[in-house]
Structure 1
Amino acid sequence: MKYLYLTLLLGIYHKTFSQGDPLYAQYLNNPLVINPAYTGLNNNFNASVSYRKQWSNFDGSPTTFNVSMHSSVSRNKMGLGILLVQDKTGVNKNTEAYTTYAYRLKLNTMQLSFGIQAGFINFRTNNDALNAYDPSDPAFSNNLNITKLSFGAGIILSSEQFFAGLSVPRMLRSTIVLSDDNTNESVKAELYDQHYYGTLSYMFYLSPRVRFKPSCLVKYIPGAPVSVDYTAAINLDQKYSAGLFTRNANTFGFLVQLRFASAYRFGYVFEVPTGNSVGTRFNTHEVTLGLNLAVFGFQTTTLSNF
């Protein structure tokens, strides 16, 4: 009995707070969400708003909202930006805010971009929203509201047709000290583990109007299975895109993107999990609205493939 409450406390909080990054199916439409090296990479001013509802109709399922703005500066040699993310799952809510910076080097027909980001993550729980719990249970006796500093880094090698990136957007592991008032003992539990990302994509020109872009995203978390996304998309006139994707063969879906009025874009993703996940009746929807403009004289109005 001596360690009963402490074990329960650690088990519940470890599962609750050792959380993964939000999922994004449109990661190649806005790579900034996973790699700060993308800041200003397309030589435009960029603004984006995205909303993702995962496993809709599943009580307490993840909901993610993010806003980003970034632009190339210093004659396209550098980039500056901001990124805001809110991710909510059940009674847990994470809020993140970052400033991002990137520096680029020209390598013949390619460019190498180094990026960093700095900000904070706020971890918050609201156990009062639970339908039923024992308030005397130490695992639920306190709502948490903890803010931690966060830093990230990434690198991207790209050209007109090729894109490859490596990143660790949140480099610091966050922990919390949990204590049991009954035994006066405490233990550390993890709030967050590092996530490592690798992205790879190539643009094939099938005709002057039609392009084919396969891509891959690999995500690694220490102690967890590797996650791999595969996407294949067709682009027409650099305005209309449609594609199919899968994540570990546990989720399948399609994505579409429309560019209109030269500067605006709309993206939508629909996902269906398999029976190996939560079941096919809990679908996922992701919507993105974006803006790309040349606001400085040294910026280009040419649309980027990435």
Structure 2
Amino acid sequence: MLDTPSAQVPTLSLNQQATDPQGFADQLGQSFRRFGFAIVADHGIPDDLIARAWDQTKKLFELPEEEKRRYHVPGGGGARGYTPFKTEIAKDAKVVDLKEFWHVGRELPEGHRYADTMAPNIWPERPEGFRDTFIELFGAFDTAGDKLLSGIARHLGLEDRWFDRAVKDGNSVLRLLHYPPIPADAEGVRAGAHEDINLITLLLGAEEAGLELLDRDSGRWLAVKPPEGAMVVNVGDMLQRLTNHVLPSTTHRVVNPPPERRGHSRYSMPFFLHPAPDFLIESLEGTVTAENPNRYPTPITAHDYLHERLVEIGLIKK
């Protein structure tokens, strides 16, 4: 892994969107078209909130295994609460990922029309303040995601707020990830090669080495190394499908560290930005051309698409 070359993914500033929205949209779109990834600085999530979230994430995963497993819902697809170590497997992989995680979803008011398809959150008794911290962080990710979607819409020639209707009360998930220390001869990797399911993923915590993307031009794995505090953003399969592959979803993985780092934990916080369950994923008219014919003539709802993929990665049993 130490010899893996770095992907030359440009670092963009979200502040540019306020002064040069078209310039920002063009750079974001070009980075996505080339890599399926972008690096975004000045994302607007407060440093003190992020620091609090990291502290509580570490305390959460330090809880006794028996206590954490009280928050696991067998058969729940990992939608909320705790998912134990060695549960998730990348599509078509032979061994499970070396990770455990916790999911926080959108807080819906009682009687909401999506209550039947979006599970209520599960909140641990400790660490203290966990619920308030992650409700606040979820909201901050939501705001940053809306701004990025606005840039994507502009890049695609759509109205700036086109995605608003798609993601209003969307089924987004904040994942708190812990990759525990592993032995030198561990079977598998921390996260096998995969593509994300959702529209876009916003990731904090990629400064620790390990995240790699599969470059479509060269066929080589390239390391993604953001500046400290910057956010890594990547296209998910729902956006790839919606744009008829104009914006591609790129295969990526988290490889094991070199031997001297295997005794250390790795933490990250991806925010999987999803549309509402009943949003119809249908190829955008402007992305279907003679050179790029429609790959997906049959539309599918976001809920049905998500269910199909959760079966594939082992979080829901057939």
Question: Which has more radius of gyration?
Answer: 1
Q: Which has a greater percent of helix? A: 2
Q: Which has a greater percent of strand? A: 1
Per the normalisation by structure 1, the TM-score is 0.24
